[in-house]
Amino acid sequence: MENRQGNLWQATAQEKVEATPLSTDLSVDIAIIGGGFTGCSAALAAAGSGASTVLLEANTIGHGGSGRNVGLANAGLWLPPDQIVAQMGEDAGHKLIALLGEAPERVFALIEKHGIQCEPVRNGTLHCAHSPAGLNDLQERHRQGNRFGAPLRLLDATETARRTGSTRFHGALFDPRAGTIQPLAYCRGLVRAATQAGARIHDRTTVSGLSHDGDAWVIRANGHHLRAKALLMATNAYHLGIETPFRPQFMSVYYSQFATDPLPHDLRSEILPGGEGCWDTALVMSSFRVDAAGRLIIGGMGNLEGAGSPVHRAWARRKLRTLFPKAGDLPIRHQWQGRIAMTSDHVPKILEFGPNAYACFGYSGRGIGPGTVFGASAAEALLTGDTSNLPIAPVKHHSEQFAALRSAYYEFGATLTHAVK
Ligand SMILES: Cc1cc2nc3c(=O)[nH]c(=O)nc-3n(C[C@H](O)[C@H](O)[C@H](O)COP(=O)(O)OP(=O)(O)OC[C@H]3O[C@@H](n4cnc5c(N)ncnc54)[C@H](O)[C@@H]3O)c2cc1C
């Protein structure tokens, strides 16, 4: 039995955060709840604009999806562009596609500007066809993407094998705009930059209640009261009970990852020599990438803390052997998981739940670029009242039917697929 440790990103993040729990009453321009990509990007933008800013995080920075992520800094959403336009309408769809298409550029520019030590590799991503039907899907995505100005390239099976080091794929869609990062370090780096810009960061500070007294938001945390003119809730899939009539609604989907020991030298030049981040076209999808030390990281849907855990663990080993036979028996040294907040239409939401208050959530598995963009633009809109840079129009209500049941269904589907494959 291998001696497996937890989250790789916690073990290797070069960026450190120095924060303390909230221990006093405060009055600020904007309060942000949640220290993931959304909240940290918002804090950086708000403090950078000169606003007095406080960020409250229940655990430590990056405790949620942002510190458990695969690290694929993608352009756009999961949905192909035509579907986004069909769901949202011409103008709104085009605006969202354009803003999220530029999101990796924004992420990598922030990394450079603030010197964030997060292993950035901007060599693109590969969406790999796991079957002939998957290749048809990629051909359609290629056609649509290029029509919307995305510089995508469709690769044949030979080129895909050369780049990935695996002969299992029928082709791949290459997106040169995207890349990979160490996600927890990116999140911590954003918060370091926000602190340098003047933001107060309080971790180990759970917000337990919210109310509006007609003038400002009153936020209760750690037995203290914080008054804020504007409020951003950035708790996404890790939302902890806050006493307020509103709570973000989404389906939770678990995703697990397994990191090997660093690849031996000869295999590093065979497996992902260019460092592209990859995922496949399967309905129960999987991902793979390497980190800066050359560890191979395989990911797939499934809950490692649930009844299906042995199935998911066995699947990871089989997947490794199938994709990369020469690396198939490398020790798996780290395993961890996270929760993804999915919405039914796979489009993130900005919910205006009170005066001068937004909640951003439901990135549906795409949070690095979108979280960075949504957080910063939400902070700007709350502070200035100008909503023109928001990627989507805020809504007053959002509900999801049978969210718990559908979350259980996703987990059942992942377990069944991993068991029979
Ligand atoms: C395993 C996994 C892999 C993923 N891979 C990718 C990927 O490769 N690329 C990509 O773009 N996206 C990916 N995603 C999605 C992405 O990670 C998320 O969309 C993103 O992290 C959401 O960021 P966030 O800041 O909105 O929320 P989070 O990072 O979840 O942060 C929310 C924070 O709010 C805090 N919080 C909650 N309640 C309270 C409270 N009451 N008081 C104070 N704080 C509170 C939590 O502790 C948490 O730290 C992945 C997600 C998972 C789980």
Which ligand 1 atom sits closest to the C-alpha of 279?
Answer: 8
Average pLDDT, stretch 313-340? Answer: 96
Distance 20 CA to ligand 1 centre (A): 21
Q: Would you list the domain boundaries of the chain?
A: 8-420
**Quick check: 258 pLDDT over 80?**
yes
| Minimal-distance CA residue to ligand 1 atom 39 | 240
> Phi, psi (5° rounding) for residue 203?
-95, 180
**Could you report the per-residue pLDDT of 24-54, keeping only the tens digit for each?**
999 999 999 999 999 999 999 999 999 999 9
Burial category of 292 from C-beta neighbours within 10 Å (exposed 0-12, middle 13-18, buried 19 and up)? middle
| Ligand 1 atom nearest 340 alpha carbon | 53
pLDDT of 1 above 60: no
Using 50, 70 and 90 to split pLDDT, how confident is the model at 244? confident
Residue 287: is its pLDDT beyond 70? Answer: yes
The residue contributing the CA closest to ligand 1 atom 4 is 69
Strand partners, 76: none
* Separation CA 396–CA 354 (nearest Å): 9
Distance from the alpha carbon of residue 90 to the mean position of ligand 1, in angstroms? 29
Q: Which of 25-39, 59-73, 186-200, 399-413 has the lowest mean pLDDT?
A: 399-413
Q: Which residues line ligand 1 (CB under 6 A)?
A: 33-39, 56-59, 63-66, 68-72, 74, 206-207, 234-240, 242, 255, 338-340, 363, 365-369, 371
pLDDT at 117: 98
Average pLDDT over residues 282-288: 94
pLDDT value at residue 127: 98
**Closest atom of ligand 1 to CA, residue 68:** 1
* pLDDT for the residue 237: 96
Closest atom of ligand 1 relative to the 60 alpha carbon: 49
Q: Using only C-alpha atoms, what is the Rg of the chain?
A: 21
Of 57, 203, 279, the residue with max ligand 1 atoms within 8 A of its CB, to mutate for a pocket test, comes to: 57
Q: Determine the residue of 74, 363, 364, 410 to mutate for testing ligand 1's pocket, defined as the one with the most ligand atoms within 8 A of the Cβ atom.
A: 363
Weakest mean pLDDT among 73-77, 136-140, 292-296: 73-77
CATH of 8-420, one of 3.30.565.10, 3.40.50.10210, 3.40.640.10, 3.50.50.60: 3.50.50.60
Residues 368-377: pLDDT tens digits? Answer: 999 999 999 9
> Which pTM does this prediction carry?
0.97
What atom of ligand 1 comes closest to residue 337's alpha carbon? Answer: 1
Mutate to test the pocket of ligand 1, among 33, 54, 66 (most ligand atoms within 8 A of CB): 66
Q: What is the pLDDT of residue 4?
A: 84
Query: Quick one: which atom of ligand 1 is closest to the CA of 237?
Result: 30
Q: Among the listed ranges 212-226, 232-246, 270-284, which one has the minimum average pLDDT value?
A: 232-246
Nearest atom, ligand 1, residue 71 CA: 8
Share of the chain above pLDDT 90, in %: 89
Question: What is the percentage of the chain residues whose pLDDT exceeds 70?
Answer: 100
Where residue 401 falls among pLDDT bands split at 50, 70, 90? confident
Residue nearest to atom 25 of ligand 1 (CA): 36
Give, for ligand 1, the residue of 8, 40, 70 to mutate: max count of ligand atoms closer than 8 Å to Cβ.
70
What residues have CB less than 8 Å from 164, skipping those under 6 apart?
A: 126, 128, 172, 271, 272, 276, 278, 288, 323
Beta bridge partners of 354: 357
Question: Does position 254 have pLDDT exceeding 60, yes or no?
Answer: yes
Tell me what the mean pLDDT of segment 123-135 comes to. 98
**Could you identify the residue written with the tokens 């354009």?**
98
DSSP secondary structure of 128-166: E-SSHHHHHHHHHHHHHHHHTT---EEE-HHHHHHHHS-
CA distance 411 to 306: 9
Average pLDDT over residues 351-377: 96
Phi and psi angles of residue 93, each rounded to the nearest 5 degrees, phi first: -65, -50
Secondary element (H or E) of residue 90 = helix 90-101
pLDDT in the model for residue 278: 98
pLDDT tier at 71 (50, 70, 90 boundaries)?
very high
Residue 179's pLDDT is 98
> Which of 79, 235, 257, when mutated, tests ligand 1's pocket best, judged by the most ligand atoms within 8 Å of its CB?
235
What's the gap in Å between 64 CA and the centre of ligand 1? 4
pLDDT computed for residue 118 by the predictor: 98
One-letter amino acid at 94 equals H
Mean residue pLDDT across the chain: 95
Ligand 1 centroid, distance to 237 Cα (angstroms): 6
> Ligand 1 mean position to 36 CA, how many Å?
5
